[in-house]
Structure 1
Amino acid sequence: MKKSLIALAVLAAAGAASAQSSVTLFGIVDATVAYGRASGTGSANKWQLTNSGYNSSRLGFRGVEDLGGGMSASFWLEAGLSNDNGTGVATNLNNQATGAAGGSTGLVFNRRSTVSLAGGWGELRLGRDYTPQFWNLTVFDPFGTNGVGTTQTLNSIITGVTAVRASNTIGYFLPGNLGGFYGQAQYYLGENVRNGAATEKDGTGAGVRLGFANGPFNVALALSRTDYATGKVKQNNLGGQWDFGIAKAMAHYSFDSNGNVDGKGWLIGGLFPVGAGEIRAAYSRYKTDVAGSPRTNKIALGYVHNLSKRTAVYTTWARVKNQGGAAQALNGSSFGTGVVNQNSSGLDLGIRHSF
């Protein structure tokens, strides 16, 4: 829903924004009653009211100005919300462990904060954004990397801070008229002083994603590398889907590394339309090559019922099996080391409203 006047008032930039062709206030509020249960000595059960079980809760502002000749300028500011307790979600300043900032005291535009220039040649985008290496994990996951059903290729991933987003990015997106081919390239900066220290390149990296979508078919490959003094981090994946009409099949495969540790994972799943709703199902696995070969297998099953175009109710059940020293727990059911090599299950019940 477009609310130009409200958006301008909130941004307190009526003078600067008056030249915009359009300014939009948008968001999602998703509340989830979540239950987690882990087995074994030292494990625990937990009930909680949380958020983002179906879609990530957020509040955002975006605008675009037509520059003529097929050119446009735009901005996008999007903040994550913990609507169960009224707090914001933290961000990261420099793509390093030391860069965590904000979140609990108010809104932080952690999800996306970009300005763009676009034309027939594509789009140049600057700011904090999703990394190319994340897109295949979320697009080709029936649960969209949200809630208890999130693919284990993300929950167990070893690639750290830039697994999902990066700050200080310079990105380029191919135009949308290439006969089904699409792609992006991104370079991001750790912004450290170049003084010869071993850590001077920490948090600096690049990623690229190339894909092809035509009719029911969609496939994409993503490759990336981020530099740290402790070792280079590489996050790579290949994903695809096929829409059969009565169902949409999805799969992806990931091969990652963090210094001397390698991780591999895969997912297979699907979406099955049923009347006003949709059944979601997936099986995923992730393992690393450290001592014991820790690995986690996950099965997830869910249903979403659309009450309208903007409002939906949903439920998701998932269960993980840990082996080789893995200790993944669902919906906060961990207690100490009680979930090592144990099973854990979780249940989400929620409502999502978008505006």
Structure 2
Amino acid sequence: MHEKALKKAAHYAREKTFFIHDGFRGSEDLGGGLKATFELEKRFDLFDGTNGNSNTAAYRAQRGQNANSKDWDGAANLGLAGNWGRVRFGRVNELTTETIRKFDPFYQYGVGSMLLSANRSARIDNTARYDSPKWSGFSFGASYSLGQNTRNNGATTGWVTESAHNDGYGINLSYDNGPFMATANWSRLADSDDADTWNVGLAYKFGPARVSLLYENTSYEGWDNGGNSRPAQNANPFSAQGGDSDLWLLGLEWDIGPGQLDASVQYMDFDPSARGVKDADVYKYAIGYTYNLSKRTSAYAQVSYSDFDERSAGNFISGLDRSDMWGFQIGMTHKF
């Protein structure tokens, strides 16, 4: 896992629920520079030990323990790796999410996180993913996901209608060498009615500070988050009709004392076509500080303010019928 993810992802807070990330990762040397690899990652609720499932549409919509859950909510895959790169098969991290989150100072965790597209998923199922080695700082990635109705035989699968079926694709090009870092992505989740997302991110580090800028465009075609989980009925206006959103984020990370200050300013142009949901300009401001108690243990605090312009937009993004919202979060992380 990325070093910053280990630092900030030891638990995820939402609705007073805390999730611990746990898992196994390993490899077997097959000789000739070839290795077999595996990943198994799980999440559980720190309060009562039940399965944690913080990254599905059902959980975001229902916000409760009754949300659909997977025993292995994290990555669960087998693969091969060599000097030509790495390929994995199974449940993998989605390229668009994994790469663009590095340009969010809060790494898409906590109340300070960037506004997340409903047409992206932290992890995706039934997927083959390839990651290239680095060439002078450049790297390439691609993924292919099977749709649930691969034969297009007219049947429905769960909540997904025949018209929503499609295979999924993802492609990434990144550069990370010295103080400059950049990425560009395009993705289409499986069973999303051909809805797609593309984004770009830029970052530059000078001295103790790093400034980042990202842009993301999402085109919803009627079904969000692919077929990975079923949203609660009428929980999301984009799940019944289409729409578009454009997101800009300006971020700052600054090493101060024994920790790091994180801050971001976001703007989203929210244009749904769902009946009763109005266009809105959404603004979000966030600041936080992580204090390193040791090399493996840190404490953090975050505060954010979101102005949704329209109550219907606030209901879509936060699940609360409000035109604005404050968020506060404190916590501790430990790397095992």
Classify 1:328/1:151 alpha carbon distance in 2 versus 1 (closer, same or farther; 3 Å).
Answer: farther
Deviation track 1:154-202 (CA, whole Å, cap 9, x = no partner) reads 1xx231xx432210110111113x1111121000112325143272772
Aligned counterparts, 1:130-209, within 5 A? 130-152=93-115, 154=116, 157-159=117-119, 162-176=120-134, 178-192=135-149, 194-197=151-154, 199=162, 202=165, 204-209=167-172
User: What secondary structure, in the 3-state scheme, does the structure 1 residue paired with 2:140 have?
Assistant: strand
C-alpha distance in structure 2 between counterparts of 1:86 and 1:285, whole Å: 37
Higher strand proportion: 1
Q: Which runs of 5+ in 2 are unaligned?
A: 1-7, 59-64, 155-160, 222-241
Sort the Cα spacing of 1:175 and 1:59 in 2 relative to 1 into closer, same or farther, 3 A.
same
Separation of aligned partners in 2, 1:85 and 1:107: 17
For 1:225 and 1:329, locate their aligned partners in 2 and report how far apart those are by CA, in whole Å: 21
Q: Using a 3 Å threshold, how does the CA distance of structure 1 residues 91 and 117 change in structure 2: closer, same or farther?
A: farther
1:1-355 alignment runs, 5 A limit:
29-30=10-11, 49-51=16-18, 57-90=20-53, 108-152=71-115, 154=116, 157-159=117-119, 162-176=120-134, 178-192=135-149, 194-197=151-154, 199=162, 202=165, 204-226=167-189, 228=191, 231-259=193-221, 260-290=242-272, 292-324=278-310, 325-327=312-314, 334=320, 337=321, 339=322, 342-355=323-336
User: What stretches of structure 1 move > 4 A for 4+ residues in a row?
Assistant: 102-107, 328-332
**TM-score, structure 2 length as denominator?**
0.78
Aligned partners of 2:168 and 2:187 also within 8 Å: yes
The alpha-carbon deviation at position 135 of structure 1 amounts to 2.4
- Shift in Å, 1:206: 0.3
Asked whether the equivalents of residues 28 and 353 of structure 1 are also in contact (C-alpha less than 8 Å), the reply is no
Report the residue type matching 1:158 in the other structure.
A
- State the one-letter code of the partner of 1:170: A
Q: CA separation in 1, counterparts of 2:9 and 2:279?
A: 39
Residue aligning to 2:62 = none
TM-score, scaled relative to structure 1: 0.74
Aligned partners of 1:218 and 1:241 also within 8 Å: yes
Letter in 1 for 2:331: G
Aligned residues of 1:91 and 1:103 also touching (Cα < 8 A): no
Q: Which runs of 5+ in 1 are unaligned?
A: 1-26, 35-47, 96-101
Contact between 2:298 and 2:332, CA under 8 Å: does it hold in 1?
yes
Structure showing greater relative contact order (alpha-carbon pairs closer than 8 Å, 6 or more residues apart): 1
- Is the Cα contact below 8 Å between 2:12 and 2:110 reproduced in 1? no
Count of paired positions? 292
Tell me how far apart the structure 1 counterparts of residues 214 and 80 of structure 2 sit (CA, whole Å). 32
CA distance in 1, matches of 2:137, 2:66: 39
Q: 1:296-347, CA deviations, whole angstroms, 9 ceiling, x for partnerless residues? A: 2100000000111111111000000011441159988x3xx3x0xx221011
User: Aligned-pair distance for 1:68?
Assistant: 1.7
- Alpha-carbon spacing, 1:271–1:51, altered in 2? closer, same or farther (3 Å): same
CA distance in 2, matches of 1:172, 1:353: 30
Do the aligned residues in 2 keep the contact of 1:234 with 1:257 (CA within 8 Å)?
A: yes
Change (3 A) 1:330 1:311: farther
Distance 2:147 2:317 in 1: 32
